[in-house]
Amino acid sequence: MNETDPIQNPTVEQPLSPWQLFWRRLKQRRFAMVGGVILIVLYLVALFAGFVAPYNYDRLDTNYSFHPPLWPKPAGFHLAIPRYEPGAGSFVYRVVPNDTKPLHFFIRGDEYKLFGLVPATIHLFGTGDEHYPVYLLGTDQFGRDVLSRLLYGSQISLSIGIIGILLSFTFGMIIGGISGYFSGWTDTVIMRLCELIMSIPALYLIISLRATFPPSMSSAQVYAMIIIILSFIGWASMARVIRGMALSLREQQFVLAARSLGQSHLRIIVRHILPNTFSYVIVAATLSVPYYILGEVVLSFLGVGIQEPNASWGNMLTAAQNTEYLRNFPWLLAPGAAIFITVLAFNFLGDGLRDAADTKSL
Amino acid sequence: MNLLEIKNLKMDFGKNADALRAVDGVSLTIGTGETVCLVGESGCGKTVTALSIARLVPTPPANYVGGEILLNGRDVLKMSNGELRSIRGGVVSYVFQEPGASLNPVFRIGNQIKESLKLHRPEKATNDEVIRLLKLVGIPAPESRIKNYPFEMSGGMQQRVMIAMALASEPKLLVADEPTTALDVTIQAQILDLLGELKQRLGMAILLITHNLGIVGDMADRVAVMYAGQIVELSPAKELLRRPLHPYTRALMASVPKLHGTAERLSAIPGNVPRIGNFPPGCRFAPRCPIAKPECSDKIPELVEVEAGRWVRCPFWKTP
């Protein structure tokens, strides 16, 4: 027999996998790609916050409270950092003419720990002279660099979204899967519990849950507490949707086929039901991350979240509660802008993912 | 000992006053390596009977009220969940009607077959064994096919994959529930040939559910004809096709289109299958039966062996 006979030996061309098709459709959505790139940059910067930030988040410079943002000016082949000195009146600064220092890159500065482990002193930029500070976004009332605090704060604010989603969606999917797959009284009990949690306004629930934890905790404990509180509230809505999908998926013939092969209930839920909900879950997760970021902001803003001197976007905004401050020192709102950009980027990406995951819209 | 012995199986949907009897006193045996066809119109209880063999009908709503199902001599209705899981696939495997719906759309077919192997023959859960199985069911270029997703295959290929999955656990009994209904005619013939060939090679028994009398002659050793939850005729296949005894079987045979002859209209059985819970008194076929007599509505006739190996649920089967 002829080896190259196409009927006897057909060459099967490898078609695109669902993921490849998904990626191809996603690439066509420009807003989603922009959102995705912004998020990648934000998370990379958060990961290397110690390196990118010119100072430590708790470095005080009491001579320079409410220092205005300064911008380096090009001077020859380098960027020049102007020097400010206190002027007439409190928190009024003026530029010292013709007194600049060149901006250096990869310069030695405050000691920090990269990834919280590796001690390092090299920073992305700085002047190397403490009389010429680089306060790109100004300072707060204690003279702490707003940009550095923003970067350190992003570590907390951005990671809470991801970890919170992982936690609440894992629970939501498993509990919703069990609820929908078994239905009957299991379903009734779980769903009434979900409704109970969802019926309480989230803010009251957050505050009262906060009250169940001791008032003074280390920052790591507070961090874990915030994630637990937000996940505790978040799993219910996920479980409800997954339960609905599981209810319809359990009637699918491939579930019967899996049972007819002798697979256990748990394995059918995990291997056959839940993977079929992934296209929804990925979209929902992306669109829900902002709620977790905002949840942290709310808690910290109310003073029950991340505590000073640790920085988070929420507790940095606490300083912006004072209208007097806001009028005179608008740069304190920088974390608000960061939140705005992050939330918008997540929503753009989520919308694009939804369009790409929806196979009916080609 | 027979591989499968269903004795007087009675199953309701619902409980007490709302109970609807879907299977009413079905008895059926299948010997090792035997092929039995279960024939009947839609809604007559074929599929629930077949699913009951591995107790796959969810309870509730289903409710077994009587009888036993002996698989290898052990009553399936009394088994624990663990035992049930080991016989599902291990002793009896299923192939369903819609091959596209029976495969999980989000997994590659190689992984799905491997899953069946992991459950019942974990030592054989390798790509090589998957390729061997795909070759066995006649899939060309199996090495590259194992990476395919179900939607990348045709219906016939999907059904072959389902058969490979069912065979992976080396069952003694393969239950094929209308395996060709969703496929076009040429593919139907291929799948049936494949089943027949596999049966010869692997020596397993087949319970083939169909509403197509045309495939009975090629495949079956024996045929059970079901009507409204009961078996009305049980007979060796060749004799049944040559000379159907029960009026319902005769009517079914008459409604199969013939290539030769001059009939202008296809003959159809008048009326509809009675709804579950709304069965007529006495013989359930009586309202549609061309030879019905008044006494047919008095009581349900017994399934009686009228000739060697031929069982009929009609006292008037001799009436032409």
Largest Cα span, chain A: 99
pLDDT at res. A9: 59
Helix (H, G, I), strand (E, B) or coil at B231: strand
Across the A:B interface, residue pairs with CB atoms under 8 Å apart total 81
pLDDT at res. A117: 79
- Per the CB < 8 A criterion, the answer to whether A318 and A300 are in contact is yes
Helix (H, G, I), strand (E, B) or coil at B58: coil
Sorting pLDDT into bands at 50, 70 and 90, what band is B97?
A: confident
What is d(CA A28, CA A77) in angstroms, rounded to the nearest whole number?
40
| Element spanning B226, H or E | strand B222-227
What is d(CA B90, CA B82) in angstroms, rounded to the nearest whole number?
12
Which residues in chain B have Cβ-Cβ distances shorter than 8 Å to A271?
Answer: 104, 115
Sorting pLDDT into bands at 50, 70 and 90, what band is B61?
A: confident
Nearest to residue A354, comparing CAs of A282, A292, A249, A246?
Answer: A282
The C-alpha R_g of chain A, in whole angstroms, comes to: 26
Shortest CA gap B88–chain A (Å): 5
Q: Is B56 in contact with A256 (Cβ distance < 8 A)?
A: yes
With an 8 Å Cβ cutoff, the interface of chain B facing chain A consists of 54, 56, 84-90, 93-94, 96-98, 101-107, 115-116, 119-120, 140-141, 144-145, 147-149, 152, 162, 165-166, 169
What residues of chain A score a pLDDT lower than 70? 1-15, 358-362
Asked if residue B91 has pLDDT above 70, the reply is: yes
Q: State pLDDT tens for residues B15-52.
A: 877 788 888 888 888 888 888 988 888 778 888 888 88
Report angle CA B175, B180, B184 to the nearest 5 degrees.
Answer: 170
- Report CA A64 to chain centroid distance, whole Å: 31
Chain A residue with Cα closest to B111: A271
Which residues in chain B have Cβ-Cβ distances shorter than 8 Å to A278?
Answer: 106
Shortest CA gap B149–chain A (Å): 8
pLDDT at res. B261: 67
Q: Is B98 in contact with A253 (Cβ distance < 8 A)?
A: yes
What is d(CA A164, CA A225) in angstroms, rounded to the nearest whole number?
11
Tally of CB atoms within 10 A around A98: 7
- Per the CB < 8 A criterion, the answer to whether A308 and A254 are in contact is no
Which residues in chain A have Cβ-Cβ distances shorter than 8 Å to B116?
Answer: 261
Q: Which of A9, A252, A264 sits opposite B101 (nearest CB)?
A: A252
Domains, chain B, ordered by start: 4-91+171-249+303-312 (3.40.50.300), 105-170 (no CATH)
Nearest to residue A242, comparing CAs of A278, A291, A206, A193?
Answer: A278
What is d(CA B233, CA B245) in angstroms, rounded to the nearest whole number?
8
pLDDT at res. A167: 92
Asked if residue B67 has pLDDT above 70, the reply is: yes
- Residue with structure tokens 């199985």? B133
Nearest to residue A147, comparing CAs of A316, A292, A15?
Answer: A316
Chain A residue with Cα closest to B101: A253
**DSSP code, position A308:** T
Q: Is A14 in contact with B144 (Cβ distance < 8 A)?
A: yes
- Pseudo-torsion of CA B136, B139, B144, B145, nearest 10°? -110
Asked if residue B256 has pLDDT above 70, the reply is: yes
Above pLDDT 90, what percent of chain B?
A: 0
pLDDT at res. A13: 61
Query: CA A317 → CA A60, A311, A334, distances in Å?
Result: 18, 10, 8
Flag whether the ipTM exceeds 0.85. no
- Strand B304-307 versus strand B92-95 pairing type: unpaired
pLDDT at res. A361: 46
Average pLDDT of chain B is 83
Q: Does A271 touch chain B (CB under 8 A)?
A: yes
pTM > 0.90: no
Report angle CA B20, B21, B27 to the nearest 5 degrees.
Answer: 170
What is d(CA B44, CA B48) in angstroms, rounded to the nearest whole number?
9
- Per the CB < 8 A criterion, the answer to whether B37 and B222 are in contact is yes
Tokens for A197?
A: 């949690």
Q: Is A262 in contact with B90 (Cβ distance < 8 A)?
A: yes
Domain A148-357 is of which CATH architecture?
Answer: Orthogonal Bundle (1.10)
Tokens for B292?
A: 């019905």
For A:220-259, CB contacts with B below 8 A are 252-254, 256-259
pLDDT at res. B314: 82
Q: First and final CA of chain A: distance in angstroms? A: 43
Which residues in chain B have Cβ-Cβ distances shorter than 8 Å to A272?
Answer: 104
Q: Which of A14, A259, A262 sits opposite B86 (nearest CB)?
A: A262
Which residues in chain B have Cβ-Cβ distances shorter than 8 Å to A262?
Answer: 84-90, 119-120, 169
**DSSP code, position A224:** H
Q: Could you tell me the residue ranges of all domains in chain A?
A: 60-143, 148-357
